[in-house]
Amino acid sequence: MRQIVLDTETTGLEVTQGHRIIEIGCVELVDRRITGSTYQTYINPDREIDQAAEKVHGITTSYLEDKPRFAEISGALIDYLEGAELIIHNADFDAGFLDAELKLIRPDFPGIGSICSVLDTLALARQLHPGQRCSLDALCKRYEIDNSSRVLHGAMLDSQILAEVYLVMTGGQTSLLPELDSGSLSTAKNNNQSLAGVQTKTKVIYPDQNELDAHNEWIKKLEQDSDEEPLWR
């Protein structure tokens, strides 16, 4: 299974106001493994970047003057994405910008969903953690993923971080205990409730020899009562 974790940076927030993509970053996963294959490019948007957007990603209009236009990179981008499942945090935003750019080249283009499927990790995170913050930074904190290098947003950096978040978030149960945020812990302390048993990691308790012997005797009994060879042997 081939998946592409994708992020974009743009000149502003609203595609309906003519804002454009200025950076695309992609990280490839195959069978839930990061392969090392990536795709990254900066793009000349032929327009000014909003000051608010520049403060978020740090990319300036002057830096993009010698970069290719979207039409020049669109073929390579489609070749890289086609047939994969896109993993995007807040997919409506990035997919909306990709669709707008591709339709400027091909007005009849049916949408990015016509060449690949799309998984929105923001929607997934909200299902897994209802009522909690689900920004990329919040998920990094929740899953203990280092994002200290994320001083500014960047499409390539954010794709790399999101790839790690996605793999942890969809990798199964990470704790046998319910989530306790700092507020819950604070409330428990204020109420003088015992915090015994609250753990951040699952504790593994290994059986002693007496328990192993008792287990083996039970297995033997099951084998004697069964007409077929048990799978566990």
Between CA 130 and CA 96 the distance in angstroms is 25
Q: Which of 176, 173, 195, 175 is nearest to 184 (CA)?
A: 195
Residue-by-residue DSSP string for 88-142: ETTHHHHHHHHHHHHHHH-TT---GGGTSEEEEHHHHHHHHSTTS--SHHHHHHH
- Residue pair 24/39 in contact (Cβ under 8 Å)? The answer is yes
Is 153 catalytic? The answer is yes
- Amino acid 206 reads Y
Q: Which of 71, 25, 69, 23 is nearest to 45 (CA)?
A: 69
Between CA 100 and CA 112 the distance in angstroms is 10
Choose, from 57, 89, 129, 153, the residue flagged as catalytic. 153
Catalytic center residues:
153
